[in-house]
Amino acid sequence: MHTVWKGAISFGLVHVPVKMFSATEDKDISLRYIHKECGSPLSYVRKCPVCDKEVAWEEIGKGYEYEKGKFVLFNKEELDQLTEESTKNITILDFVDLTEIDPIYFQKTYYLSPDQAGTNAYRLLMEAMRQTGKIGIAKISIRSKSSLAAIRVLADCLAIETIFYPDEVRPISQVPGLPEAGAVNDKELDMAKLLISQLSTPFEPEKYTDDYRQRMLDLISHKVAGEEYHIAPAKQEANVIDLMAALQASIEAVQPIPTDPGTSGAAAAGAKPAAGAKRKTAKSKTAAAAPVVHEATGPIPVIAPKPKRRTAKSKETVS
């Protein structure tokens, strides 16, 4: 890993020399602008509109536009003086619980490792934070950008996450179109809670993938090979107006499917096979006895297999 920062963590009078490494990497696929006519990549030219000429890097300074078209200029020495002290130290201001920080504040994560002879102090800070369950809130300056940061234990490593200052987070009151407070339908709420419970699972980050990036890589590989590659259009989602129907359909879609439907169906149908068999036998006897009563009291049907028995019953009835 490439070291992006070197300095020290300080809490109280304890000094922990550390090196910082980026914990994440951007795997977004970068596309360049190409001149369609000749296929050449376009370059960005730093050009002064007043002097009408290209400007070299050594001729470029920095300035702040305090009014439209009016700037105050800064030289490198002035800017370095502002950051000289803050860039070398991570000062822990407070220790807090991680659950007290809303995720909206988090920016980027870095790993910290001990530097020089700071192994013992590093291990001490990490173990103390692990056993107390606390994280440190600190100030840090990276590449001339001052940030708040949260230092926490991640496995057997100290991690630091830059976080926004409160005035950098826009207030929710500025969000347009938020619904007013009101009651929700109890049945819909129960269905929604049931759906959430059925979709709840332990967080396993390895099962989530960047589908867009994979499709882009496939497209690139086919184009490099000179092959045609067609992507199936995405399925259009239906605009479901009936919320209860949508909830019910969602719940049915995530319900577990039995591993052996035939076995489970037979077991469900035959919960009491012995009693069921006896009831069916009794019913069959009753059904067989009914026609006998009918033959003795009413017209005798002509049944070929038993002519003698019907004749005998007829004589007994006449006498």
Q: Is the pTM of this model over 0.85?
A: no
pLDDT in tens, 60-106: 999 999 999 899 998 888 877 776 555 678 889 999 999 999 999 99
Contacts 24+ apart (CB under 8 A), 177-182: none
Q: How confident is the model at residue 154 (pLDDT cuts 50, 70, 90)?
A: very high
Token pair belonging to 277:
């068999």
Burial of 224 (0-12, 13-18, 19+ CB in 10 A): exposed
Q: How confident is the model at residue 305 (pLDDT cuts 50, 70, 90)?
A: very low
**Residue 26: its pLDDT value, please?**
82
pLDDT at 277 over 80: no
**Residue 92: its pLDDT value, please?**
92
Q: Mean pLDDT across the stretch 294-300?
A: 40
Q: Mean pLDDT across the stretch 236-251?
A: 73
**Distances from the Cα of 256 to the Cαs of 15, 192, 200, 252, 253, in angstroms?**
55, 17, 13, 9, 9
- Domains of the chain are 3-168 (2.40.290.10)
**Residue 280: its pLDDT value, please?**
42
Give the separation between CA 133 and CA 153, rounded to whole angstroms.
Answer: 9
112 vs 179: which has the higher pLDDT: 112
pLDDT in tens, 5-59: 888 898 888 889 999 999 988 888 888 889 999 999 998 888 998 998 999 988 9
Percentage of residues in the chain with pLDDT exceeding 90? 29
Token pair belonging to 290:
């009914």
Are the CB atoms for 109 and 101 separated by under 8 Å? no
**Residue 85: its pLDDT value, please?**
56
Q: Among 15-24, 265-274, 292-301, which range has the highest average pLDDT?
A: 15-24
